[in-house]
């Protein structure tokens, strides 16, 4: 399963540097965590700092081609074409 940590950070209007500051670590360490194989504990810390459920950090299977995520709040938007 793919991680979408960088996408969620961007959707929340944050940068890697801001998130690292909020977590009390430096940007390089956070980047290494995100680009490596983060532990469950690390994922929980990242989710807490971002303010989202840890499940949001994982790529979800596409249910419907007419569903997109809002780039501002991250909520799903269903699009109906008539």
Domains of the chain: 5-78 (1.10.260.40)
Extract the tokens encoding 13.
């209007």
Q: Which helix (H) or strand (E) holds 69?
A: strand 67-69
pTM: 0.68
Identify the DSSP state of 67.
Answer: E
- Which residues neighbour 66 within 8 Å (Cβ) at sequence distance 6 or greater? 78, 79, 80, 81
pLDDT in tens, 16-74: 999 999 999 999 999 998 888 899 999 999 999 999 999 999 876 555 457 778 888 88
pLDDT of residue 75: 85
Identify the DSSP state of 6.
Answer: H
């Amino acid at each position: 399963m793919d991680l979408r940590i960088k996408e969620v950070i961007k959707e929340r209007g944050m940068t890697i540097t801001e998130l690292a500051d909020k977590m009390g670590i430096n940007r390089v360490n956070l980047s290494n965590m995100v680009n490596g194989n983060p532990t469950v504990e690390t994922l929980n810390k990242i989710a807490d700092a971002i303010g989202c459920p840890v499940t949001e950090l994982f790529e979800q299977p596409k249910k419907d081609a007419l569903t997109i995520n809002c780039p501002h709040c991250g909520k799903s938007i269903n699009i109906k074409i008539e």
